[in-house]
Amino acid sequence: MYKRQIINDILDLSKLEAGRLEIESVDFSIHNLCESTLEMLSPVAHGKGLEIGLILDDRIPTMLQGDDGRIRQMLVNLIGNAIKFTDTGGVTLELHLKSNREDQLLIEFSVSDTGVGISKEGQSKLFQKFSQVNTTRKVQGTGLGLAICKELSRLMNGDVGVSSSPGNGSRFWFTAQLRPLPNQEIPDK
């Protein structure tokens, strides 16, 4: 399973570098996507005694158009990392509507944890390929996940970022531009 993940990450990176990774546009429920992703990861979190929570901005319409598979991939990476680097407390996924222009919604997905945190110096390297900053920890990883998130969010006209301090947990976020399906109430600006 773990080997397959490494191979997928390397394939994604080479596709991204070649400009050959295409973002799909399908109709999906953002609620189902968040809930099923958390459901998939909650056994790992609960196995470590961690709480796992979801906060959804109610201005975000349920049905959206975009690449749900790639959004799930980014969420799994951020939530998986948050669980990996947290020993007590919990992890929260939060969705916010950042802007609503001409039928394009900019949605921020953020994952907060109460884990080990990352130094300022470490934070500056995080989104580079093959970078791992908490090297004293015996945790598996390749240092590719966040670099892939950065590229994927850019392909969705978004961005990525982190705020963190050692010992006080971290908050990783990415934004993505998504379209609401027609005939749904458009949220206020």
Contact residues for ligand ADP (CB under 6 A)?
77, 81-82, 85, 113, 115-116, 118, 126, 131-134, 141-147, 170
* CB of residue 160 to ligand ADP, shortest distance in Å: 11
Burial (CB count within 10 angstroms: exposed 0-12, middle 13-18, buried 19+), residue 173: buried
60/79 with CB nearer ligand ADP? 79
105/176 with CB nearer ligand ADP? 176
Q: What are phi and psi of 79, to 5 degrees?
A: -70, -40
* CB of residue 129 to ligand ADP, shortest distance in Å: 8
117/180 with CB nearer ligand ADP? 117
Burial (CB count within 10 angstroms: exposed 0-12, middle 13-18, buried 19+), residue 143: middle
150/180 with CB nearer ligand ADP? 150
* CB of residue 170 to ligand ADP, shortest distance in Å: 4
Cβ contacts of 74 within 8 Å, gap of 6 or more:
109, 148, 149, 152, 153, 174
* CB of residue 145 to ligand ADP, shortest distance in Å: 3
State the pairing for strand pair 90-101/104-113.
antiparallel
